[in-house]
Chain A
Amino acid sequence: MNSRYILGLALAITGFGFAPVAAAQDRIQLDSEVEVERTKSEGGQTKVDYLPPVGVVPGDRLRFTTGYDNRGSTAAENFVVTNPLPEAVALAKNEDAFVVSVDQGQTFGTLAELQIKETTGEYRAAELTDVTHIRWTLERVAPGETGTLTYFGIVR
């Protein structure tokens, strides 16, 4: 228990390992994946594929997926998944499944209820491109439960 705590702390501090960092003994397993959306026409129909992120240039649409897996024997509660958007990525599509932040994660809400203070002191409605963080909240993840959380972004 002690050693796991230290490992977990180390990960929280260093933060950004390049490989998926969920260690084997962690009870919650996470898997983060990014794919690029490619459309092609086949027989007059447009087909959308999600492919490994190669040949990605500004304007491309990306799908970010976080998979979770509770490998423990007890339920995880107040399961809060926070995802800062990479600075070169703008949110492409708002969804009901998550709340967003437009102030670097200080406050979260639905996009419709958030406002941006302009330099003139006036407020305007927040837009997709203002979003800095998104957050999913799950009340309970039962033992053995798996799932995925997805958002779409566009390379700025």
Chain B
Amino acid sequence: MIRTSKLLGAASIVTLAALGATPAFADGTGAGTTIQNTVTVSYSVGGVAQNDQQATDQFVVDRKINLTVAEVGGTQTVVSPGATQQVTTFRVTNLSNDTADFALSVAQQAGGPGAFGGTDNFNTTGETIYIDTDNDGDWADETPVSYIDELAPDQSRTVFVVSNVPLNQVSGDVASVVLTATAHAGGTAGSQGALLTTSANNTANTVDTVLADGAGRTDAQYDGRFSAADDYIVSAAALTVLKTSSVVQDPVSGTNNPKAIPGAIVQYCISVTNAAGSATAAGVNVVDDVPAGLTYTATNFPVRTNSTSCDVAGATDTGSFSGTRVSGTLANIAGGETRTLIFQAVID
């Protein structure tokens, strides 16, 4: 291999070098970029350097549309029956080499497996789409939108889908919602551009469009769309109630191994347990009629509530007695927790 560099050739290389700087392309060469290839030939004839010769050829890079929609958080949104404005979160990323608008639509999956297990068996209602324009992770300060405006190459936006849960759902019910983003032409801020399709006729030296997106949850490859699913899972409160009694004192034996004889004091414990994994139960009201043959005694033991067991020492509040009925309101019971109402009565 001969590596000869004539002076004339070297001079032309220097002028070309300024154009050869190689910037970093984070997202691929931009649509509309002209790729121009220029060759320079230096040569000699009979030992005399001749003028350089050049030849060029050029074309423009076309618009490659690619995007993804991804669920954010990697888990279901846990909701209660009747809950309103429940949020699922997605992220839409523009992988194109051009700025584009992305139309957003949300659909309810009709049956089939959920995105995070379970089977879709109900639909949420009133779906509304928000973009996290201020990146604070909160949808409440945003206004509903139908598209992402002017998303630059390699940029992404967080999108919230907010919807309501019907009241009659039960624990374990799953609703999958699918967010689809569809590429539209960018270029005009404040309005959604025309739907992008792969150009029918590719024309040299004009910017054509090539849809190069993958297949998402419900969309196909190369259709200019991408979709992803997120799930709502219902966790209702699942309360169980258990009533137990024990004799705490009788007139003969006192508290030492007391028997249920007339005059003995019986302590009742009504225990309310919320199943593990359930939604927190609030405003649980316990009502119990004192059994016939017993007389409620409040002399030194009023109705006690909110112990986490039948040990009265843990009780923090008092209930009430009226007529033949004891009652008390329990504090919030989270999943897996127990709260009790305890009272005493004397055997007639």
Q: Do A and B bind each other?
A: yes
The answer to whether residues A80 and B4 also contact, given A26-B53, A141-B43 and a CB cut-off of 8 A, is: yes
For B35, list chain A residues within 8 Å (CB): 34, 53, 56, 62, 86, 88-89, 155
Nearest-neighbour CB distance to chain B for A111, whole angstroms, equals 13
A83 contacts B38, C-beta separation under 8 Å? yes
Kindly list chain B residues whose C-beta atoms are within 8 Å of the C-beta of A32. 37-39, 55-57
Instruction: Identify the closest chain B residue to A129 (Cβ).
Output: B22
Asked whether, in the complex, the Cβ of B28 is within 8 Å of the Cβ of A8, the reply is no
Cβ–Cβ contact B1 & A99, under 8 A: yes
Question: With a CB–CB cut-off of 8 A, which chain A residues contact B57?
Answer: 20, 32-34, 64
Contact of A11 among B2, B17, B54 (CB under 8 A): B54
Interface size on B, residues (CB 8 A): 59
Q: How far is the CA of A72 from the CA of B45 in the complex (A)?
A: 10
Q: How many A-B contacts if CB must be within 8 Å?
A: 203
Known: A18-B58, A54-B202, A88-B35. A81 touches B20 (CB 8 A): no
Chain B 103-121 interface mask (CB, 8 Å, partner A; 1/0): 0000000000000000000
A57 touching B64 in the complex, CB below 8 Å, given contacts A12-B51, A17-B56, A99-B1:
yes
* A84 in complex: contacting residue of B4, B19, B43, B61, CB < 8 Å: B19
A8–B25 touching, CB < 8 Å? no
Contact with B along A6-17 (1 / 0, CB 8 A): 001101110111
User: Could you tell me if B97 and A74 are in contact, using CB atoms closer than 8 angstroms?
Assistant: no
A19 to chain B, nearest CB (A): 8
B64 with A77: CB separation less than 8 A: no
> Counting CB contacts under 8 A, is A87 at the interface?
yes
Interface residue B46 (Cβ < 8 Å from any Cβ of A): yes
Closest CB-CB distance, A78 to chain B, in whole Å? 5
Partner of B55, one of A4, A56, A66, A88: A66
* CA–CA, A16 and B23, complex, Å: 20
Interface bits A128-144 vs B (CB < 8 Å: 1, else 0): 00001100010101000
**Chain A, range 21-42, C-beta contacts under 8 Å to B:** 21-22, 26-28, 30-34
Report A94-118 CB contacts with B as 1/0, cut-off 8 Å: 0000010000111011000000000
- Asked if B6 is an interface residue, CB under 8 A from chain A, the answer is yes
CA distance A125 to B20 in the complex (A): 21
Asked if B28 and A155 sit within 8 Å, CB to CB, the answer is: yes
Segment of B81-89, B124-132, B203-211, B287-295 in the binding face: B203-211
Q: Assess the B39–A86 pair: CB atoms within 8 A.
A: no
Least CB separation from B18: chain A residue: A104
**A58 and B29 form a contact (CB under 8 A):** yes
Q: Mark B29-47, 1 if CB is under 8 A from A, else 0.
A: 1000101111111111111
Known: A54-B208, A137-B1. A156 touches B25 (CB 8 A): yes
Chain A residues near B37 (CB-CB < 8 A): 32, 34, 64, 83, 85-86, 89
B15: min CB distance to chain A, Å: 7
5 contacts between A and B (CB under 8 A): A8-B53, A18-B56, A58-B27, A81-B41, A155-B35
